[in-house]
């Protein structure tokens, strides 16, 4: 079984030095890095975080779990690679491109009106009272806003500011509808808006500025 990291069919061409300045020189899109079960692996990691968020282990069970997790961490530490070649963040076939640090989203459509995605906040995104933590809502907006910016300018940009208006509770474990779009492009400045809905109900809105990076910019 291949780890897919060098498969020319599944990755965009990246040379010896795949990054330029602070970001990738190319949009690395892969469907094979990490192997065919990388999605299940990521999902197990998310479920681990869900369970940890709500678990109250006995001291004896905590001892056992620490020993188990030490073994798992040793296995993972042995296969760590650099950020440019890691599957996380490049697997466009998986929720949130296989990046478990993002709220899992699935992009459902990209068109002239922007990026449309289904986002599901998990148990481990809990803020309080069954609602998502506001910081996680901002994370989802940052990534999907960056996506809309990338689509608008066909290039890489970085967040200069991002404001979220929290309009109503954002529920956990519910597929929510996210929409991000470029309202205006002015030179390197990309003004991005976003909304997050639970059905007809508006949960949050985003207003952000992304700056297109100059070649080689850190």
Q: Where are the alpha helices (DSSP H) in 6-133?
A: 38-54, 59-77
Residue of closest CB approach to ligand 3VV: 146
- Quick check: 103 binds ligand 3VV (CB under 6 A)? no
Report the alpha-carbon distance of residue 86 to residue 214 in Å, rounded: 24
- Quick check: 215 binds ligand 3VV (CB under 6 A)? no
Burial of residue 79 (number of CB atoms within 10 Å: 0-12, 13-18, 19+): exposed
Which of 176, 203, 206, 209 binds ligand 3VV (CB under 6 A)? It is 209
Which of 26, 122, 189, 197 binds ligand 3VV (CB under 6 A)? It is 189
Which of 98, 143, 164, 195 binds ligand 3VV (CB under 6 A)? It is 143
Query: Could you tell me where the beta strands, DSSP code E, fall in 105-188?
Result: 105-111, 114-119, 126-128, 131-132, 157-166, 176-186
- Quick check: 98 binds ligand 3VV (CB under 6 A)? no
Q: Which of 38, 199, 193 is nearest to 114 (CA)?
A: 193
- Quick check: 188 binds ligand 3VV (CB under 6 A)? yes
Q: Where are the alpha helices (DSSP H) in the chain?
A: 38-54, 59-77, 134-153
- Quick check: 139 binds ligand 3VV (CB under 6 A)? no
Report the alpha-carbon distance of residue 119 to residue 28 in Å, rounded: 22
- Quick check: 10 binds ligand 3VV (CB under 6 A)? no
- Quick check: 142 binds ligand 3VV (CB under 6 A)? yes
Interface with ligand 3VV by CB under 6 A: which residues? 27, 29, 92, 142-143, 146-147, 150, 158-161, 187-189, 209, 211, 217
């Amino acid at each position: 079984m291949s780890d897919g990291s060098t498969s020319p069919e599944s990755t965009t061409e990246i040379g010896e030095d795949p990054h330029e300045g602070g970001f990738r020189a190319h949009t690395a899109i892969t469907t094979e890095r990490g192997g065919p079960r990388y999605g299940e692996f990521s999902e197990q990691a998310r479920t681990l975080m869900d369970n940890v968020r709500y678990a109250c282990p006995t001291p004896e069970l905590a001892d056992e779990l620490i020993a188990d997790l030490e073994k798992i961490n040793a296995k993972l530490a042995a296969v760590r690679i650099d950020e440019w070649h890691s599957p996380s963040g490049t697997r466009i076939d998986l929720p949130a491109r296989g990046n478990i640090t993002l709220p899992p989203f699935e992009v459902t459509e990209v068109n002239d009106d922007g990026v449309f995605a289904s986002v599901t906040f998990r148990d481990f995104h809990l803020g309080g009272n069954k609602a998502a933590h506001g910081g996680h809502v901002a994370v989802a907006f940052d990534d999907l806003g960056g996506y809309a910016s990338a689509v608008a300018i066909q290039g890489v940009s970085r967040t200069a500011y991002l404001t979220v208006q929290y309009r109503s509770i954002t529920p956990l474990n519910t597929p929510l509808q996210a929409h991000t779009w470029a309202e205006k492009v002015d030179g390197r400045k990309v003004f991005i808006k976003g909304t997050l809905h639970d059905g007809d109900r508006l949960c949050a809105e985003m207003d952000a500025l992304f700056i297109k990076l100059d070649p080689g910019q850190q």
